[in-house]
Amino acid sequence: MSKAAVIGGGFAGVECASQLSSRGIKTDLFEMKPVRFSPAHKSEKLCELVCSNSFKAMRIQSASGLLKAEMKMLGSVTVECAEKSSVPAGGALAVDRDIFSSFVTERIESDKNITVIRQEITDIPKGYDAVIIAAGPLVSNKLAESIGKLTGNEFLSFFDAAAPVVEAESIDMTKAFFQSRYDRGGEDDYINCPMVKEEYENFYYNLINAEVAQLHDFDRKKGVYEGCMPIEIMAKRGADTIRFGPLKPVGLRDPKTGRRPWAVLQLRKENREGTMYNLVGFQTNLKFPEQKRVFSMIPALHSAEFVRYGVMHRNTFLNSPQILNGDYSMKTHPNIFFAGQITGVEGYMESACSGIMAGINAARRIQGRETAVLPPETMTGALARYISDCFNKNFQPMGASFGLLPPLPERIKDKKERYTLLAERSLKILKEMSDTI
């Protein structure tokens, strides 16, 4: 009889196991708790929440709401249990974390096709028809070593040092211009956001006085800043430090003035379609509201919509575009799959969603069927495309965002209307495909 192994009992792991079971695949789900706990985990239950108890908005006009709607259509166990354990949270889906974990644990442990094995896995299991590694961002050191040997250590990162990303449509191009430094490269490779002296000084003052996020103890102990200096720390070394660093204007000329700006923030494409742009050199540990407040002081970003905020913390993840296919299988080992935050998706529901697709595809691989990759017009498919698209040479984790979706044929300025149409398009496509999946 066919059998699969899933490593990790978090959001991705339980979804993998559930999808495999629903397709008649016997599954061993390995969870190292309570034999061993990561620095962030305390409970023996599966699907433990270690940060917020919110899974974000439910309305489909939000990226997180659309993602959950798609997951429900795909048979998500975590969304079902979240709705059963929800607490009042306005338009968001928030849960009683203990009840939620209890529901998930009971659901998985009572499944006749799933055997939960409380054991720390330090190497890739052998003897299975498919293996899914869903170990999470705080994977144990020994398993991380085994993953490094399997994937190549150069493709495994241990710190998430990411700069913010903004939606292209929210950049004020009347206050920005396209140009590569010294005109090297494509003419639209970078969007340049210039500042005059007074604008820069106001931005600088607010940057060095902004409130930073508190680090977890295990982040501080690991020295998360050693390889990547946050922009706010660099700025405190002197008023001109970042103006001669990430904000240097050398090799650029503002076509509106014909002169070199006092300082320039460069934005680089985050995806092939150019719907999202990365703030180059702006790795940061500022609190999220502070990032929006301070970075919006740059004139071209005064109305910027932030797809992802900058983060700096312990987060083991793969350089997935070099390693994974869009079905979450390895390019070099098609019967080994990855799921969860280790793939580069960011967030509870994003991790669970990747687990759904990895589980579906591991089952299909075992059954000798072609794996399923959803179109990028769906949020589920867009996340899979993001983590497997080799266009992204500076890969960093990403959560659900409308910026990941291909744009509509017609340009719609009203954001609410645009997001509604994008969501309706996504759900229509998924409904049409549901029988084949």
Q: What is the mean pLDDT of residues 298-316?
A: 88
Tally of structural domains, the chain = 2
| Whether residue 271 is found in the same domain as residue 351 | no
Indicate the pLDDT class of residue 221, thresholds 50, 70 and 90: very low
What's the confidence (pLDDT) of residue 187?
A: 62
Instruction: Copy the structure tokens of residue 66.
Output: 């659309």
| Whether residue 255 is found in the same domain as residue 329 | no
d(CA 392, CA 417) in angstroms, rounded, equals 29
What's the confidence (pLDDT) of residue 313?
A: 66
3-state secondary structure the chain: CCEEEEECCCHHHHHHHHHHHHCCCEEEEEECCCCCCCCCCCCCCCCCCCCCCEEEECCCCCHHHHHHHHHHHCCCHHHHHHHHCEECCCCEEEECHHHHHHHHHHHHHCCCCEEEEECCCCCCCCCCCEEEECCCCCCCHHHHHHHHHHHCHHHEEEEEEECCEEEHHHCCHHHCEECCHHHCCCCCCEEEEEECHHHHHHHHHHHHCCCECCCCHHHHHHCCCCCCCCHHHHHCCCCCCHHHCCCCCCCCCECCCCECCCEEEEEEECCCCCCEEEECCCCCCECHHHHHHHHCCCHHHCCCCEEECCEEEEEEEECHHHHECCCCEECCCCCEEECCHHHCECCHHHHHHHHHHHHHHHHHHHCCCCCCCCCCCCHHHHHHHHHHCCCCCCCCCECCCHHHCCCCCCCCCCHHHHHHHHHHHHHHHHHHHCCCC
pLDDT above 70 covers what percent of the chain?
92
Residue 24 has pLDDT above 80, yes or no: yes
| Whether residue 304 is found in the same domain as residue 352 | no
Residue after which a domain boundary falls, among 267, 289, 309: 309
Which CATH number do you get for residue 197?
A: 2.40.30
Q: What is the pLDDT of residues 61-97, one digit of tens each?
A: 999 999 999 999 999 999 999 999 998 887 889 899 8
Residue after which a domain boundary falls, among 309, 338, 353: 309
What's the confidence (pLDDT) of residue 38?
A: 66
Residue 204 has pLDDT above 90, yes or no: yes
Question: Angle 77-84/348-366 helices, nearest 10 degrees?
Answer: 140
d(CA 312, CA 231) in angstroms, rounded, equals 11
| Whether residue 349 is found in the same domain as residue 387 | yes
| Whether residue 258 is found in the same domain as residue 375 | no
241: domain range?
Answer: 165-309
Question: Angle 63-73/77-84 helices, nearest 10 degrees?
Answer: 110
Cα-only R_g, the chain: 22
| Whether residue 232 is found in the same domain as residue 267 | yes
| Whether residue 214 is found in the same domain as residue 299 | yes
Residue 224 has pLDDT above 60, yes or no: no
Q: What is the pLDDT of residues 137-193, one digit of tens each?
A: 778 888 889 999 999 877 776 565 678 999 999 999 999 999 988 777 666 678 999
Q: What is the mean pLDDT of residues 209-227?
A: 61
Indicate the pLDDT class of residue 250, thresholds 50, 70 and 90: very high
The separation between CA 336 and the C-alpha centre of its own chain, rounded to angstroms, equals: 21
| Whether residue 273 is found in the same domain as residue 298 | yes
Residue 101 has pLDDT above 50, yes or no: yes
Which CATH number do you get for residue 123?
A: 3.50.50.60
Instruction: Copy the structure tokens of residue 51.
Output: 């940060």
pLDDT above 90 covers what percent of the chain?
70
| Whether residue 330 is found in the same domain as residue 406 | yes
| Whether residue 176 is found in the same domain as residue 281 | yes
Q: What is the mean pLDDT of residues 365-392?
A: 94
What's the confidence (pLDDT) of residue 185?
A: 61
CB-hemisphere CA count at 13 Å for 52? 10
| Whether residue 36 is found in the same domain as residue 156 | yes
What's the confidence (pLDDT) of residue 144?
A: 87
Highest mean pLDDT among 134-148, 190-204, 312-326: 190-204
Reference 77, options 36, 4, 16; nearest CA is: 16
Residue after which a domain boundary falls, among 279, 309, 339: 309
| Whether residue 300 is found in the same domain as residue 362 | no
Task: List the single range of 74-78, 158-162, 231-235, 320-324 with lowest mean pLDDT.
Answer: 158-162
Residue 436 has pLDDT above 70, yes or no: yes
Residue 220 has pLDDT above 70, yes or no: no
Residue 310 has pLDDT above 80, yes or no: yes
